[in-house]
Amino acid sequence: MQVDAPGGEHRYGRAVFLGTVAAGLSSLFWGRSAWSRVSGELGSVEAYVPLVPTGGWRIYTVSGSMPRFDPATWRLSVGGQVEEPASFTYEQLRRLPRVEQVSTFHCVTGWTVKNVRWGGVRIADVLAQASPHPEAQALQFVSMEQPYVDYLTVQQAAMHDVLLAYEMDGKPLPREHGAPVRLVIPEMYGYKNVKWLQGINLVPSEQLGYWEQLGYDQDAWVGHSNGYGSAPPPPPTAQSHRGFLTR
């Protein structure tokens, strides 16, 4: 027996489909700010119950396996245009003056992690032991993860909140975040923040780093590069870099 349905028929199926597609596509323009507002509201809850299982981080690697830190063999070498190439063990690095800073980590793919507490050493303190040549204009950062390298100009590396971090949020830097030491430059997108650091070389000029060879911007200013924002990059907020190389 066919019972007559009250109220007639409506094409809700296509309405739900089209509405969802429209909402999804338009979210390309509002999704990130909406999500950051929601996660801001939920920040206090999230301290107890992680709502997203990643703490906001994603772990990006470019090679077959993630580098493993072995304190017995790991060294941070400083070479290139220097008087006397230097090399630090993990212990030697930890004995240099310790600095700390809190900053937001921005990935070029759109995710950010707020209030990351980094502990580590200033680049200048590491370079000082190798006596860099004054004509060096850039620094090459070499990762244990081959073939990942990236570069900063001397001016960029001298900005006040750039550091070589061996601690994150009060704990030794975890393996997935680049143990034992990573570069941290909060003004630039994550791909400039080289993980699993094993060498710093002073070079005459900046070259293209790993992602830059694949089309990403060399100066990865957050909000002012890689297709984001139209304003020119901000001038370095840094101290003068005079004395950075020579101390």
Partner 1 sequence: MSGVYVNRFSRTERVLHWVNAAGFFVLLGSGLVLYLPSLAIAVGRRPLVKDVHFWAGVGWVSALVLVVVLGDRRGLLGTARELDRFDGDDRVWLTGGARAPQGRFNAGQKLNSALTAAFTLLFLVSGLLLWLGERDTRFRFASTVVLHDGLMYASLFLLVGHLYLALIHPATRHALRGITVGTVDADWAHVHHRKWVPPE
Kindly state whether residue 42 participates in binding partner 1, applying the rule CB under 8 A.
no
Site for partner 1 (CB under 8 A): which residue of 98, 117, 133, 175? 175
Question: Which CB sits closer to partner 1, 88 or 105?
Answer: 105
Question: Which CB sits closer to partner 1, 28 or 47?
Answer: 28
Site for partner 1 (CB under 8 A): which residue of 170, 215, 232, 235? 215
Kindly state whether residue 35 participates in binding partner 1, applying the rule CB under 8 A.
yes
DSSP state of 193: S
CB of residue 53 vs partner 1: minimum separation in angstroms?
Answer: 6
| Residues 102/117, Cβ–Cβ less than 8 Å | yes
CB of residue 107 vs partner 1: minimum separation in angstroms?
Answer: 8
> Distance between CA atoms of 16 and 55, rounded to whole angstroms?
32
Say whether the peptide bond before residue 147 is cis (omega within 30 degrees of 0): yes
Give the contacts of 137 (CB within 8 A, at least 6 positions apart).
153, 154, 203, 204, 205, 206
Provide the token pair at 178.
């680049």
Site for partner 1 (CB under 8 A): which residue of 54, 87, 239, 246? 54
Kindly state whether residue 70 participates in binding partner 1, applying the rule CB under 8 A.
no
b (16+ CB within 10 A) / e for 108-146:
beebbbeebebbbbbbbbbbbbbbbeeebbbbbbbbbbe
> Distance between CA atoms of 32 and 197, rounded to whole angstroms?
31
CB of residue 99 vs partner 1: minimum separation in angstroms?
Answer: 26
Size of the site for partner 1 (CB under 8 A): 49
CB of residue 32 vs partner 1: minimum separation in angstroms?
Answer: 4
Question: Which CB sits closer to partner 1, 123 or 179?
Answer: 179
Helix (H) or strand (E) holding 105: strand 99-106
Question: Which CB sits closer to partner 1, 122 or 182?
Answer: 182
Question: Which CB sits closer to partner 1, 16 or 102?
Answer: 16
- Number of residues written out for the chain: 247
Residues that bind partner 1 (CB under 8 A): 2-3, 5-14, 16-18, 20-21, 24-25, 27-32, 35, 53-54, 57-66, 108-111, 175-176, 214-215, 226-228
